[in-house]
Amino acid sequence: MYLQQLVEIFYIGLITVYTIFIVSFIYITSRSRPEIKTDGGKKVHMGMERSEKIWLGVLFTVAVIGNIIFLSPLMPSMQYQVYLDEDPVKTVVITMENHTFILPENPIELPLGKPVEFKVYSNDLTYGFGVFRKDGTMVFQMQVVPGYENRIVWVFDEPGVYTIRSTEYSGPEHPYMVLYDVIVVGGE
Ligand SMILES: [Cu+2]
């Protein structure tokens, strides 16, 4: 999954920067430093001071808490976006040709709340594949380019009937490229 790879790169980058930061902090504060005393005398200060130890603790805490909040699969939102990689429970293959949709079944029956995959092919022109709600609002759309496997995975979160429409202008017949109520998403 593309998003997952991006997040992994970001994550590794973040960990690297943070590790460099903490290691250099420990290195610098642990070296012995000359300390000028208020009475003018000098002594060599060894190791970390108490405030530096506290700051180090803050750095570690921020790293751990930040990790849990933003990237951990313990968070439902992150689990859904980044870690959940369920295989689609159904694949719908649709071919577009001569300004028509060739459907595998009519209606296309899909489950609610499960990932379903659409593979849409074009045998001639560049079309669009859009899925719309009853009120005309769009659920999703993608371009359908000839010679490619145009693929989208979707989780429907509302039961109901949906309309398929071409969303890419493809000539004078384009406005008629619509199939009303051909997708039925069942309740669970
Ligand atoms: Cu069209």
Please give the domain boundaries of the chain with CATH numbers for all domains: 2-83 (no CATH), 90-185 (2.60.40.420)
What count of residues does the chain have?
188
Percent of the chain with pLDDT over 90: 53
Q: Mean pLDDT of all residues in the chain?
A: 87
For residue 1, what pLDDT is reported? 54
For residue 70, what pLDDT is reported? 73
The answer to whether the predicted template modeling score (pTM) of the entire model surpasses 0.75 is: no
How far apart are the CA of 17 and the centre of ligand 1, in A?
Answer: 48
As a whole number of Å, the CA-based R_g of the chain is: 28
For residue 125, what pLDDT is reported? 94
Q: What is the pLDDT of residues 120-167, one digit of tens each?
A: 999 999 999 999 999 999 999 999 999 999 999 998 989 999 999 999
Q: How confident is the model at residue 14 (pLDDT cuts 50, 70, 90)?
A: confident
Q: What is the pLDDT of residues 136-149, one digit of tens each?
A: 999 999 999 999 99
How far apart are the CA of 125 and the centre of ligand 1, in A?
Answer: 9
Q: How confident is the model at residue 38 (pLDDT cuts 50, 70, 90)?
A: confident
pLDDT at 175 over 90: yes
How far apart are the CA of 133 and the centre of ligand 1, in A?
Answer: 18
How far apart are the CA of 167 and the centre of ligand 1, in A?
Answer: 6
Q: Residue written as tokens 């008629």?
A: 176
How far apart are the CA of 166 and the centre of ligand 1, in A?
Answer: 4
On the 0-12 / 13-18 / 19+ scale of CB atoms within 10 A, 18 is middle
How far apart are the CA of 178 and the centre of ligand 1, in A?
Answer: 9
State mean pLDDT over 174-180. Answer: 95
Count Cβ neighbours within 10 Å for each residue of 153-170 and write b for 16 or more, e otherwise. Answer: ebebeeeeebbbbbbbeb
Residues around the ion ligand 1 (C-beta < 5 A)? 127, 166, 170, 174, 177
